[in-house]
Structure 1
Amino acid sequence: MIELTGRAALVTGGNRGIGRAFVEELLARGAARVYAGARDPGDVDTALVEAGAVPVRLDVTDLGQVAAAAAVCADVSVLINNAGHFANRRLVLTDEPDAARAEMEVNFFGTLNMIRAFAPVLAANGGGAIANVLSVAGMVPTPFMGGYSTSKAAALWLGTIARAELEPQGTQVTSLIVGSVDTRMAAHVDGRKEDPRDVARAGLRAVERGESVADTDWMAVDARARMARDPGRYERQLAKLLHASTLRTGR
């Protein structure tokens, strides 16, 4: 269990979408300081800054920037690894073979870079908490999000391993399983989409309760339930969605 009020937190990709929602919700819950990481600090909205957010230059794939952020944000005891990349390309039958590598660099290695750099910071501040913003596509193999799905699956196992390694220093690690959210990254997705602020609220509740893995919304719960009930059938349904998407978009 962890109390978020009065703590300093850092949110990667904190300038828009789910990341921005986490920044807003942390400020609303009385965090002492909230750093909003962004590749360009100028992208952090003025309204967020006026509300108390502190912009930090941070590309999670740049080890120099990650180290600099760990030095500047030395008071952090809550780390939200939210930055993500979705290339929207096929994994095997692709005309852009480097797309999957780019997804892995951000979604897996970027998260690993942040955990490695901030583990000593969190230890110095009493242990604290890490939340990795993942995806239902990391729990259920999703063909129409091939590179993204595999990179988020890798990040899921990273969370489990980090939890074991950091347990002696009192750092809890929560993997947040997110479904379809109304953000720019999910603009291509049809159907029901969750409000990013609702996802942030659910995620922070899971952190406060010290949960290891937590679904943040209806789609995450439903997808995992379908997979558990009949894995073969659900896999075939996802394959059909891949081919339907190919007919509609040509890729």
Structure 2
Amino acid sequence: MNLHGRTVLVTGATGGLGREFVRQSLARGARTVYAAARRDHDWDDDRIIPLHLDVTDLASVRAAAAAAGDVEVLVNNAGTTGAASLLESPMDEIRHTFETNVFGPLELIRAFAPILARDGGGAVVDVHSVLSWLATPGAYSPSKAAFWGVTNAVRLELAGQGTQVLGAHLAYTDTPMIAHLDVPKSDPAVVVARILDALEAGEDEAIADETTAGFRSVLATATTGRIPSRA
């Protein structure tokens, strides 16, 4: 999937990673980028089309698909950290986390799959997390684990129409969403570059930083009993 001349839609486009996906898609030659987000944002580039989108609202998802009928690459980047405890957080917060991180992206894939098929298959990029493989308290890591499973399943279902489905995994990245955490963080520009490199290389999985590569190796070793030839 070479991005040159392509039309890309990025969800969560006003966030730290989202802005990088928009910027780097254009830098790699994308013709148009739909910058989809709940918040309004002024984009100083005629190639960027702002698109209001709430991934938890089915009507909003369908309106986005109707407005962006030329999309060839869908980047499911929008997400939320969500409820801090599965036992104590309000169930509405837990449900919202899963609606944002799992069901919203799935609704987008369902809405855009016919559009991608008309353009020869196109591609879907799903932004996961290293916490897809590592349980932590709260709703975030189980929601990302569920999203990883969804990605693997829809990859099989979309194979027949020639759609590339890339699952991208990353650890802490220097974005506003985790600005309050005092931990080492990767550069969003580097993370997005690695994801788009994997997309253009035709990969099914992108490992966006060294921390994630380490966890991926441990996971592979645990399931196969041997060190993988690559992360």
8 Å CA contact 1:27–1:51 kept in 2: the answer is: no
1:207 matched to 2:199: yes
Q: Which runs of 4+ in 1 moved over 4 A?
A: 226-231
The 2-side partners of 1:225 and 1:189 are apart by 25
Match of 1:223 in 2: 215
8 Å CA contact 1:38–1:57 kept in 2: the answer is: yes
Match of 1:116 in 2: 110
**Cα 1:50–1:89 shift into 2, 3 Å:** same
Amino acid of the structure 2 residue aligned with 1:150: P
1:13 matched to 2:5: no
Question: How far apart are 1:37 and its partner, in Å?
Answer: 0.2
Structure label with greater radius of gyration = 1
1:66 matched to 2:61: yes
**Secondary structure at 1:70 match in 2:** helix
Amino acid of the structure 1 residue aligned with 2:166: T
**Secondary structure at 2:79 match in 1:** coil
8 Å CA contact 1:33–1:54 kept in 2: the answer is: yes
The 2-side partners of 1:224 and 1:187 are apart by 25
Match of 2:37 in 1: 38
- CA offset digits 1:129-173 (Å, max 9, x no partner): 000001011122123xx2010111111011111111011100010
1:173 matched to 2:170: no
8 Å CA contact 1:140–1:224 kept in 2: the answer is: no
8 Å CA contact 1:79–1:130 kept in 2: the answer is: yes
Question: How far apart are 1:214 and its partner, in Å?
Answer: 1.8
8 Å CA contact 1:122–1:128 kept in 2: the answer is: yes
Match of 1:150 in 2: 142
8 Å CA contact 2:83–2:89 kept in 1: the answer is: no
Question: How far apart are 1:49 and its partner, in Å?
Answer: 3.4
Question: How far apart are 1:96 and its partner, in Å?
Answer: 2.5
8 Å CA contact 2:31–2:47 kept in 1: the answer is: no
8 Å CA contact 2:72–2:122 kept in 1: the answer is: yes
**Cα 1:219–1:189 shift into 2, 3 Å:** farther
8 Å CA contact 1:49–1:55 kept in 2: the answer is: no
The 2-side partners of 1:118 and 1:172 are apart by 13
Match of 2:120 in 1: 126
The 1-side partners of 2:29 and 2:110 are apart by 27
**Cα 1:49–1:99 shift into 2, 3 Å:** same
TM-score between both structures, scaled by the size of structure 1: 0.84
Amino acid of the structure 1 residue aligned with 2:2: E
TM-score between both structures, scaled by the size of structure 2: 0.91
**Cα 1:125–1:190 shift into 2, 3 Å:** same
8 Å CA contact 1:100–1:147 kept in 2: the answer is: yes
| RMSD, aligned CA | 1.7
Which moves more between the two structures, 185-194 or 159-168?
Answer: 185-194
**Structure 1: stretches of 5+ with no match in the other structure:** 232-251
Question: How far apart are 1:190 and its partner, in Å?
Answer: 2.3
**Secondary structure at 1:50 match in 2:** coil
The 1-side partners of 2:53 and 2:79 are apart by 13
Equivalences, count: 223
Match of 2:228 in 1: none
Amino acid of the structure 2 residue aligned with 1:58: L
Which moves more between the two structures, 80-89 or 218-227?
Answer: 218-227
**Cα 1:158–1:95 shift into 2, 3 Å:** closer
Amino acid of the structure 2 residue aligned with 1:13: G
**Structure 2: stretches of 5+ with no match in the other structure:** 224-231
Which moves more between the two structures, 202-211 or 4-13?
Answer: 202-211
Question: How far apart are 1:204 and its partner, in Å?
Answer: 0.6
8 Å CA contact 1:89–1:96 kept in 2: the answer is: no
**Secondary structure at 2:72 match in 1:** strand
